[in-house]
Structure 1
Amino acid sequence: MEKAQRKKEARIQRQLAQEKKRRNMRIMVWSLSGLFVLLIAALIVFWPKPAPLSFEYDKSPLLGNADAKVKIMEFGDFKCPTCAYFSQNIMSKIKTEYIDTGKASLSFQNWTIIGPDSTTAALAGLAIYHQNNDAFWKFYDALYTNQPPESESWATVDYLVDTAKKQNLGIDYDLLRKDIENKTYADELAAQNNFAVAHNFTGTPSVLVNGKKLDDNTALNYDNLKAAIDKALKEADK
């Protein structure tokens, strides 16, 4: 009888020891989890934020005041439907409220990610810009306003020169044709593409405000983009 009792007590002690071991293990796991969460939070708070990217804004097509406190940079593709949406539905409103009032400027660089049409249209845009900055923006608006479906191959030399003529740009159209055909500004285009790739841009349009890359939810939503510009204005005033 006493032997059975001792066995029972020993079993209970083993069970208690095992339960204590499991409890200690849970405490250790919870503690490590808590430390891990604190470590992640500390990294988020103290991890150095990437420095704003710098541009020579005066060496790209520029819309607005060159000395504006907020400088918006768009990397776009004239073949890209989302870029057309951005230009016609978002940037057009930003232009009225911020660019035309001198608070912000818009610069443009190419990122030709869709296909051969992207490259040809970009070369045309660069050729026009190097003749006349204001003419570039009329061409920019015309291409996006009348952008054919992405599935079509439309950016021929004839189409691009005819589009420029229809806008009465007042440039040398023969030189424009020559520059497109000879790919006069291919190196400049390559440098812009390489910049986008080097900084891990994920699509077009890629939009930056004072050198800070915006996510798509901010760039492609008017209210969110407006908030980002307002924030940049306040930071510039400090």
Structure 2
Amino acid sequence: MKNLTWITVSGLVVLLILAFVFIPKPAPAAFAYDKLPILGSPDAPVKVVEFGDYKCPSCQFFSQQIEPQIKKDFVDKGGVSFYFMNFTFIGPDSYTAALAAQSIYHQNNDAYWKFYDALYKNQQNEKLQWATPEFLVNLAKQQNLPIDFNKLQQDIVSRTYAAEVDEHNAMAKKLNVTGTPTLFINGEKMEEAMDYAKVKAAIEKAQKGAK
């Protein structure tokens, strides 16, 4: 009886191991990269997408401490392109900030990244509603961005790019993004975005896989 039980248990263990080995991995997430703000070359073999919220304190840290290192070590060398998508879950003005950023992106991709940096540097308490149209337009003016400020104001108030922000949020939920910042490296989800050593290792692994 003991031998029978042992054989049964051993058989189940083998089946579980085989199931784990042969179950196909989920396909990498597919992004419309050509419709997103980009740092670097669109032809780079490794593509990193950040899901972020402009009111998120962790995203502020990421923008100041992690993203510049990704840019220096990988983007500036041509091996990686970096993209941004909105996941506006903190407050209603997270959405307003996203509308402003999308407007600037559609006017000038380089200006978008200057605004990205400025918005996080001037981030206020996440519990307060501070990302108003007036604040966002004034911030863009303070950065001397080469854009049409009247159009920016109109785009925010008219919610011109609401459909795009909604698509970003829907994509985040579809991909089970539960917080920000969350990275996808060549479509593979990475939640440890705050640890640059791990981000760097994941990018280097993706580079090897892309060769």
Do both share a fold (TM > 0.5)?
yes
Q: Distance in 2 between the 1:135 and 1:183 partners?
A: 20
Gaps of 5+ in 1: 1-23
Gaps of 5+ in 2: none
Structure 2 counterpart of 1:62, from 38, 52, 74: 38
Matches within 5 A, 1:63-82: 63-82=39-58
TM-score between the two structures when normalised by the length of structure 2: 0.95
Can you list the C-alpha shifts for 1:140-198, whole angstroms capped at 9, x where unaligned?
A: 01111221121221101111011111111111111101100010001111111111112
Quote the residue 2:102 is aligned against. 126
Q: Distance in 2 between the 1:32 and 1:63 partners?
A: 56
Quote the residue 1:34 is aligned against. 10
Q: Distance in 1 between the 2:53 and 2:205 partners?
A: 27
Tell whether the 8 Å contact from 2:41 to 2:81 is kept in structure 1 after alignment.
yes
Query: Aligned to 2:48, what secondary structure does the other structure show?
Result: strand
Quote the residue 1:203 is aligned against. 179
Matches within 5 A, 1:59-208: 59-208=35-184
Tell whether the 8 Å contact from 2:91 to 2:129 is kept in structure 1 after alignment.
no
Kindly tell me: are residues 134 and 35 of structure 1, through their superposed partners in 2, closer, same or farther at Cα, counting changes over 3 Å? same
Quote the residue 2:208 is aligned against. 234
Q: Distance in 2 between the 1:166 and 1:31 partners?
A: 74
TM-score between the two structures when normalised by the length of structure 1: 0.85
Query: Aligned to 2:111, what secondary structure does the other structure show?
Result: helix
* Percentage of pairs with the same residue: 52
Q: Which runs of 4+ in 1 moved over 6 A?
A: none
Which amino acid in structure 2 is aligned with residue 124 of structure 1?
Answer: A
Structure number, greater radius of gyration: 1
Tell whether the 8 Å contact from 2:29 to 2:187 is kept in structure 1 after alignment.
yes
C-alpha displacement of 1:64: 0.7
C-alpha displacement of 1:201: 1.6
Q: Distance in 1 between the 2:12 and 2:88 partners?
A: 42
Higher helix proportion (structure 1 or 2): 1
Quote the residue 1:3 is aligned against. none
Can you list the C-alpha shifts for 1:109-149, whole angstroms capped at 9, x where unaligned?
A: 11111110110000000010011000000000111122112
RMSD (CA atoms):
1.3
C-alpha displacement of 1:34: 2.8
Q: How many residues align?
A: 211
